[in-house]
């Protein structure tokens, strides 16, 4: 490996090696480093280009008079720079000029220009308050209509929230509701969205939806989604223009128009911009403007779909709160976005190109994982004052009293896997700033933040999360020998997640059998996995005192964690898990309906029993 390549990696925060989950040391190859650095925007095609990139990076660092950002506490004064003349622009646009120490600053992201340079000041509360002890339920939104009910909608979500609230649940957690790819019903994974700051239209409640009542135990998106959108089109043509919609258009402005233009383009040219004519791949091109002018009705229709989704998700959030839920909806922020969807098209400079987020090799995936989602480019993120991150968080907290940040390990370091097929490498992220932005946005609305801190956890990250008042995830499947008192206080405790087997499925090893059937797990590996599972089951049952779901719920309720999440699949005794990681079409991911529809949940005795267990534990 050349000295220049190593130097450029160090200057750019690309880690030359890392320790894997099995304590092995792995070094990044030259091919990996070239691809990852190119994804950041460096020229790495030749030794001369690499040398020029090193010189440019060093020159930039040497010329940096101010730090690119500073994390501050509200109400404190400090001096940044030489103490000379400065211009301060608060997040609300208020501008002041002065000399010497800065005045105490309010919560927010502020811009300081001094000595000919810019510094972003992220003024955040040092810590978010921990929630009171409580409990809630997580459920698959798409499956809330029960068998034969078809694809569930936001009205079903409101109904489920009211039913759970009637039994004392403090929150209802669902899969991400980011905007997907309505022009391609095959792309329905909630964790590979087109745009995380826009909403899914797959869950719209539309009168006359022909898909209502269609289907069986598995949702048929290829039938349900076109039928729902067809009904939506008819409703739009009949009554789409309203003063409320016009007000929404005005308030959302150019950002909504850009997204709606993308959706209209996708109808004509396919869901991914990478396959479009070159002239349409830039949102600011003359050809895109000409298309929007020629297809104003289509653009307006897609904007109206977003208006409808906003109205309906807002109504579900309000229903949850009015029914008595302490936190209301518990939404999920996907770790990344589809590399060729609306989000990367709208903000091409904000994302790394030619790489995907993923995970390094471990005991469960010997070749590592590639998630096929684009990461934020840390260089662009810092330069923007973390605006895309703040906007993405704000888009979720508009509706949620609790927010789960998927794979929050990526706030410390993100594993980038090159599209070339080279192994991945870790990229250091501006953790202190990202956590500060998270605290800023959560503080503004009084939200609880849960960080999914599972996997190969960087040393010190969990301490930093706890110091920020961000709850971690304590999952019983991953700590089968732990006593209830060993769970962290600053955590959300659960038996599993949407990527893991259900209570009954875990005890029977159904996930292992599924991997044999559809994911290529060998019989020998399966036998080893079953033996390991049997030991884990025995350990956990020694703590629960029984194999029933009631015993499990009693154990989790007694944990030290401030919040407990019960999975609706476990309450309703579902055997199969909703998602089998590492599979796409081989397993019916994100398609299983629940055995009980939302409107019947309130009367289900199993939910009432789970609620009594939570209440007996003073939750």
Q: Say if residue 238 is in the same domain as residue 384.
A: yes
Give the tens place of pLDDT for each residue, 440-480. Answer: 999 999 999 999 999 889 999 999 999 999 999 999 999 99
- Pick from 572, 591, 569: which is nearest to 580 by CA? 591
Question: Does 219 lie in the same domain as 170?
Answer: yes
In angstroms, what CA-CA distances link 44 with 11, 48, 239? 14, 8, 55
Q: Are residues 488 and 522 in the same domain?
A: yes
Residue 118 lies in a domain: yes
Confidence of residue 343 (pLDDT cuts 50, 70, 90): very high
- For 608-618, what is the mean pLDDT? 98
Q: How far apart are CA 356 and CA 375, in angstroms?
A: 7
Q: Please report which confidence band the pLDDT of residue 1 belongs to, taking 50, 70 and 90 as the band edges.
A: low
Burial (0-12, 13-18, 19+ Cβ within 10 Å), 196: buried
Pairing relation of β-strands 171-173 and 369-370?
unpaired
pLDDT value at residue 79: 87
Q: Are 80 and 221 in the same domain?
A: no
Whether residues 517 and 490 fall in one domain: yes
Give pLDDT tens digits for 151-168.
Answer: 999 999 999 999 999 999
Asked if 227 and 289 sit in the same domain, the reply is yes
In this prediction, residue 20 carries a pLDDT of: 75
Cα angle, residue 236 at apex, residues 232 and 240 outer, rounded to 5°: 140
Mean pLDDT of 194-206: 97
User: Residues 65, 67, 69, 75: is their CA dihedral positive or negative?
Assistant: negative
Give me the residues paired with residue 119 across strands.
112
CB 333 within 8 A of CB 391: no
Distance of CA 3 to the CA centre of its chain: 37
pLDDT at 581 over 80: yes
What is the tally of structural domains in the chain? 3
In a domain, 67, yes or no: no
pLDDT in tens, 529-572: 999 999 999 999 999 999 999 999 999 999 999 999 999 999 99
Residues 240, 139 share a domain = yes
129 domain-assigned: no
Sheet of strand 95-99: strand arrangement = 69-72, 117-123, 108-114, 85-89, 95-99
Judgement on whether residues 86 and 192 belong to the same structural domain of the protein:
no
Quick check: is 343 in a domain?
yes
Print the domain residue range for 109: 74-123
**Rounded CA separation 298/300 (Å):** 5
Confidence tier at 174 by pLDDT (50, 70, 90): very high
Strands 491-494 and 563-567: parallel
The answer to which of 148-157, 239-248, 357-366 has the lowest mean pLDDT is 357-366
pLDDT band at 22 (very low <50, low <70, confident <90, very high): low
pLDDT at 143 over 80: yes
Mean pLDDT of 400-418: 97
Give domain status of residue 128, yes or no.
no
- Does the structure show a pLDDT above 90 at 19? no
Q: Residue 24: its pLDDT value, please?
A: 79
What does the pLDDT read at residue 460? Answer: 94
Report yes or no: 173 and 141 within 8 Å, Cβ to Cβ: no
Determine, yes or no, domain membership for 68: no
Distance CA 185, CA 266 (A): 13
Residue 92 confidence (pLDDT): 95
Check residue 214 and give its pLDDT: 58
Q: In whole angstroms, give the CA distance from residue 167 to residue 603.
A: 10
At 57, list the tokens: 């990076």
370-384 pLDDT tens trace: 999 999 999 999 999
**What local confidence, expressed as pLDDT, does residue 534 receive?**
98
Under a CB-based contact definition with an 8 Å cutoff, are residues 205 and 150 in contact? no
End-to-end CA distance of the chain: 57
pTM of the predicted model over 0.85: yes
Cα gap 231→236, rounded to integer Å: 9
Task: Render pLDDT for 272-313 as a digit per residue (tens, 0 to 9).
Answer: 999 999 999 999 999 999 999 999 999 999 999 999 999 999
Whole-number percent of the chain with pLDDT over 70: 98
Same domain, 581 and 478: yes
Domain boundary among 41, 62, 83: 62
Q: Note the pLDDT of residue 468.
A: 98
For position 332, what pLDDT does the model report? 98
Query: What does the pLDDT read at residue 582?
Result: 84
In a domain, 454, yes or no: yes
d(CA 297, CA 227): 20
d(CA 500, CA 69): 39
Query: Is 507:571 a contact under the CB 8 Å cutoff?
Result: no
Mean pLDDT over residues 524-531, rounded? 95
Which residues does 520 contact at the CB level (< 8 Å), separation at least 6?
none
Domain co-membership, 400 together with 265? yes
Q: Are residues 375 and 414 located together in one domain of the fold?
A: yes
CATH number where 238 lies:
3.20.20.80
Indicate the DSSP class of residue 458: P
Q: Is the same domain home to 118 and 168?
A: no
* Phi, psi dihedrals of residue 618, rounded to the nearest 5°: 60, 40
pLDDT at 212 over 70: no
Q: Is the distance from CB of 190 to CB of 371 less than 8 angstroms? A: no
pLDDT score recorded for residue 213: 55
Phi/psi region, residue 144 (left: phi>0; alpha: psi -120 to 50; beta: rest), is alpha
Please indicate, yes or no, if residue 69 is contained in any of the structural domains.
no
Q: How many CA atoms lie within 13 A of 30 on its CB side?
A: 10
226: pLDDT strictly greater than 90: yes
Ranges assigned E (strand) in 537-606: 563-567
Q: Is the per-residue pLDDT at 366 higher than 80?
A: no
């Amino acid at each position: 490996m050349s000295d220049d390549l190593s130097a450029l990696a160090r200057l750019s925060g690309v880690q030359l090696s890392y320790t894997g989950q099995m304590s092995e040391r792995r070094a990044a190859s030259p091919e990996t480093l070239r691809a990852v650095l190119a994804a950041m925007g460096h020229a790495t095609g030749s030794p001369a280009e690499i040398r020029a990139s090193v010189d440019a990076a060093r020159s930039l660092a040497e010329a940096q008079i101010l730090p690119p950002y500073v994390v501050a506490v509200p109400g404190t004064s400090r001096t940044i720079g030489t103490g000379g003349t400065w211009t301060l622009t608060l997040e609300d646009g208020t501008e002041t000029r002065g000399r010497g120490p800065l005045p105490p600053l309010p919560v927010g992201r502020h811009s300081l220009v001094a000595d000919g340079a810019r510094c972003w000041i992220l003024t955040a509360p040092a810590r978010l308050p921990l929630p009171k002890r409580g409990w809630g339920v997580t459920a698959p939104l798409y499956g809330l209509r029960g068998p034969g009910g078809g694809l569930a909608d936001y009205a079903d979500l409101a109904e489920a929230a009211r039913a759970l609230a009637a039994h004392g649940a403090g929150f209802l957690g669902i899969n991400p509701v980011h905007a997907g790819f309505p022009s391609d019903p095959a792309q329905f994974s909630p964790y590979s969205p087109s745009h995380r700051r826009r909403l899914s239209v797959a869950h719209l409640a539309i009168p006359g939806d022909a898909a209502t009542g269609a289907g069986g135990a598995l949702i048929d998106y290829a039938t349900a989604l076109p039928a729902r959108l067809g009904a939506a089109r008819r409703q739009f043509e009949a009554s789409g223009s309203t003063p409320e919609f016009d007000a929404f258009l005005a308030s959302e402005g150019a950002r909504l128009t850009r997204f709606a233009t993308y959706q209209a383009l996708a109808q004509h040219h396919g869901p991914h911009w990478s396959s479009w004519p070159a002239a349409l791949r830039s949102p600011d091109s003359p050809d895109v403007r000409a298309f929007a002018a020629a297809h104003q009705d289509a653009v307006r229709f897609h904007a109206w779909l977003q208006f409808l989704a906003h109205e309906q998700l807002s109504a579900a959030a309000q229903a949850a709160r009015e029914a008595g839920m302490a936190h209301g909806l518990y939404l999920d922020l996907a770790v990344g976005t589809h590399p060729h969807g609306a989000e990367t098209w709208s903000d091409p400079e904000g994302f790394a190109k030619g790489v995907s987020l993923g995970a390094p090799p471990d005991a469960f995936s010997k070749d590592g994982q590639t998630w096929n989602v684009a990461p934020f480019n840390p260089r662009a993120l810092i330069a923007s004052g973390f605006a895309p991150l703040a906007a993405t968080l704000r888009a979720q907290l508009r509706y949620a009293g609790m927010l789960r940040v998927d794979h929050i390990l990526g706030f410390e370091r993100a594993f980038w896997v090159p599209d070339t097929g080279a192994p991945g490498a870790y990229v250091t992220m501006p953790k202190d700033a990202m956590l500060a932005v998270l605290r800023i946005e959560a503080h503004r609305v009084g939200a609880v933040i849960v960080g999914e801190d599972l996997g190969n956890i960087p040393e010190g990250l969990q301490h930093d999360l706890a110091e920020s008042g961000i709850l971690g995830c304590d999952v019983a499947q991953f700590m089968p020998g732990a006593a209830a008192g060993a769970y962290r206080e600053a955590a959300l405790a659960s038996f599993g997640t949407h990527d893991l087997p259900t209570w009954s499925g875990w005890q029977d090893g159904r996930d292992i059998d599924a991997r044999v059937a559809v994911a290529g797990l060998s019989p020998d590996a399966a036998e080893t996995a079953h033996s390991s599972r049997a030991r884990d089951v025995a350990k956990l049952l020694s703590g629960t005192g029984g194999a029933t779901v009631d015993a499990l719920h009693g154990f989790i309720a007694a944990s030290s964690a401030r919040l407990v999440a019960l999975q609706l699949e476990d309450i309703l005794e579902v055997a199969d898990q909703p998602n089998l990681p590492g599979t796409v079409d081989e397993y019916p991911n994100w398609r299983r309906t629940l055995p009980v529809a939302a409107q019947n949940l309130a009367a289900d005795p199993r939910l009432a029993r789970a609620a009594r267990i939570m209440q007996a534990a003073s939750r």
